[in-house]
Amino acid sequence: MLEHMRLHPEVQEALANKSAVVALETAVLTHGLPYPANVETLQDMTQAVRSSGAIPAVIGLLHGDVVVGLAPSEWEEMLVDAEKCSIRDLAPAILRRKNGGTTVAATAYIAHHVGIDVFATGGIGGVHRGVFETWDVSADLYAMASCPIVVVSSGAKSILDLPKTMEFLESLGIPVIGYQTRDFPGFYVASTGLRLSGTVHDVHEVAGMVYTMRDLKLPQALLLVQPGPSPVDPDFVEHLVQEALEHARAQGISGKATTPFLLDYLNRRAGEQLQKANMALLKANAALAGKVAGALHG
Ligand code: PSU
Ligand code: MN
């Protein structure tokens, strides 16, 4: 195990027994939802994982320790004051003893490192709109290309260029499989109209796919997607995204600040409705991830 890494005893025991464990990402909470909704959401997500029969492992940095399985008593402290940590931010944040919300990229890496094979989030990062000028492509995509783990999400938000994100996933060899859906979901929006490479009907099919990928020794993640349970009107979302992008441009927002800025703008402008949809899909993805982990370890 890495220096500066700490596993919750419950998680350690579950891994030793080869029981079902689900990793949960925290950048989505530290940089995607306001306080105290983020604490409440984490409560819902961990509960959903447990109800599905798996052990939740909340991953994040607390005072420079990489914690796999943050205890409820540690959540608040971590969630109110944390840096956004993608892969490249990990070492600097550890050395400065910071708190950190880990992105899909960093969480997938850490989870795989300790032997967790299923991970739940809301939406993945991807290729940003305006990529020809900014070259902004999320490290999430590259991390999923080299971490064999199941990532359960509701696709990606339309703050991104979704067709290019899908092309990039294909280039990196990452299968994008719909759970009881044929289309790529757009986070708040049930369908983006983008066709998926495959569909599964139950978690046993997911497990079968994972075993086959392991046999093939493929290094990629399997990205499992399902639409959120309380979708929002697509035109409404697109209108807000356009507004958010204009504000980001006007204020010269770039780099790792881009995604949090856009998410914060949407949250502040559309308040309740988007936040409810966001919280509902995080909970639903945690529940599905728990079932997938159960099928893999049953
Ligand atoms: N996309 C969302 N919601 C999120 C994020 C992305 O719809 O909360 C967060 C996730 O933590 C994701 C990260 O891993 O942002 C990607 O950031 P970037 O685009 O800077 O790589
Ligand atoms: Mn970026």
Q: Which residues are annotated as a binding site for substrate?
A: 84, 104, 138-140
**pLDDT of the residue at 2:** 73
109 touches ligand 1 (CB under 6 Å): no
Rounded CA separation 204/184 (Å): 21
Residue located nearest, by CA, to atom 9 of ligand 1: 28
154 and 191 Cβ atoms separated by less than 8 Å = no
Specify the DSSP element, H or E, that contains 65: strand 65-68
Clarify whether 25 is annotated catalytic: yes
Rounded CA separation 24/118 (Å): 9
Task: For residue 251, report the distance from its CA to the centre of ligand 2, in Å.
Answer: 16
Q: Give the ligand 1 atom nearest the CA of 102.
A: 11
Residue located nearest, by CA, to atom 3 of ligand 1: 123
Q: Smallest Cα–Cα separation from 242: which of 265, 224, 208, 275?
A: 265
Strand partners, 223: 151, 176
Q: Smallest Cα–Cα separation from 185: which of 165, 209, 213?
A: 165
**pLDDT of the residue at 272:** 83
* Total domains in the fold of the chain: 1
**pLDDT of the residue at 1:** 67
Residue span of the structural domain in which 277 resides: 5-296
CB atoms within 10 A of CB 61: 28
82 touches ligand 1 (CB under 6 Å): no
Of these residues, 157, 256, 283, 291, which one is catalytic?
157
Task: For residue 203, report the distance from its CA to the centre of ligand 2, in Å.
Answer: 32
**pLDDT of the residue at 197:** 86
Q: Smallest Cα–Cα separation from 111: which of 154, 143, 77, 73?
A: 143
Q: Give the ligand 1 atom nearest the CA of 255.
A: 20
Q: Which residues are annotated as a binding site for Mn(2+)?
A: 136
DSSP states of 266-298 as a string? HHHHHHHHHHHHHHHHHHHHHHHHHHHHHHHH-
Q: Give the ligand 1 atom nearest the CA of 105.
A: 14
178: amino acid identity, one letter? G
Does the model's pTM come out above 0.90?
A: yes
Clarify whether 164 is annotated catalytic: no
DSSP states of 96-119 as a string? TT--EEE-HHHHHHHHHHHT--EE
Token pair in block for residue 195 = 């066709």
Give me the CATH number covering residue 133: 3.40.1790.10
Helix (H, G, I), strand (E, B) or coil at 138: coil
Rounded CA separation 92/266 (Å): 30
Question: Which residue ranges in the chain fall short of pLDDT 70?
Answer: 1
